[in-house]
Amino acid sequence: NGGVNKATTPFTIVYATSTPNLWSANVGVRYMANNKFGVRLAGGYDVFKNDDDSPAFESNIWNVNLQGYANLARVLGFEDWTSDLGVLVHAGGGYSQLRSDSFTGKDQMLFLTGGVTPQVRLSNRIALLLDASLYLNARQNLTYDTNSRATRRGFQGAHFTTSIGLNIALG
């Protein structure tokens, strides 16, 4: 999947990203235990760049995550009126690293994530999807611009991603 992101908090004063901010990418493998529920192991990469009214910066986050999936189309009986539309909901957690050229180390974080993924079937094995996800970071020690320390403890960082991609069924 590829798309856009928006980091919301924390930032150093006067720093901000564009809305939407390019780019976000993720890839994963999902196993459905039955036609309603499954799990997905995935990795992602997000780039955060300054908007026109902000001082220049560029940072990125790499992540790996494990999420539970529910096929709402099956749970709610969409197949009674369509076989081409689907909706997945997902939630889970993972590990990520925030990095930038202005910061020599890496800010290691844990996060919770959740989202919704509408799908349109293109063939028996391929579906076009649109995913919208929220990431809530814990143990984030730096702001997204990496120019200052985050001031709160607990879940203090948040960013959104929206991406479009393909779901390819192998089995």
pLDDT of residue 90: 98
User: What distance in Å separates the CA atoms of residue 59 and residue 147, rounded to the nearest whole number?
Assistant: 10
pLDDT of residue 155: 87
- Rounded to a whole number, what is the largest CA-CA distance in the chain? 55
Measuring CA to CA, which residue among 40, 44, 47 is closest to residue 66? 40
Q: What is the DSSP letter of 72?
A: H
Bridge partners, 65 (sequence order): 42, 94
Per-residue pLDDT tens for 103-158? 888 999 999 999 999 999 999 999 999 999 999 999 999 999 999 998 877 888 99
> What is the band of 171 on the pLDDT scale with cuts at 50, 70, 90?
confident
Per-residue pLDDT tens for 38-95? 999 999 999 999 999 999 999 999 999 999 999 999 999 988 888 899 999 999 999 9
Measuring CA to CA, which residue among 67, 70, 69, 28 is closest to residue 45? 28
User: What distance in Å separates the CA atoms of residue 10 and residue 147, rounded to the nearest whole number?
Assistant: 11
User: What distance in Å separates the CA atoms of residue 108 and residue 126, rounded to the nearest whole number?
Assistant: 35
Phi-psi region of 139 (alpha: psi -120 to 50; beta: other; left: phi over 0): left
Q: What is the pTM of this model?
A: 0.94
User: What distance in Å separates the CA atoms of residue 101 and residue 97, rounded to the nearest whole number?
Assistant: 13
Give the residue with greater pLDDT, 153 vs 160. 160
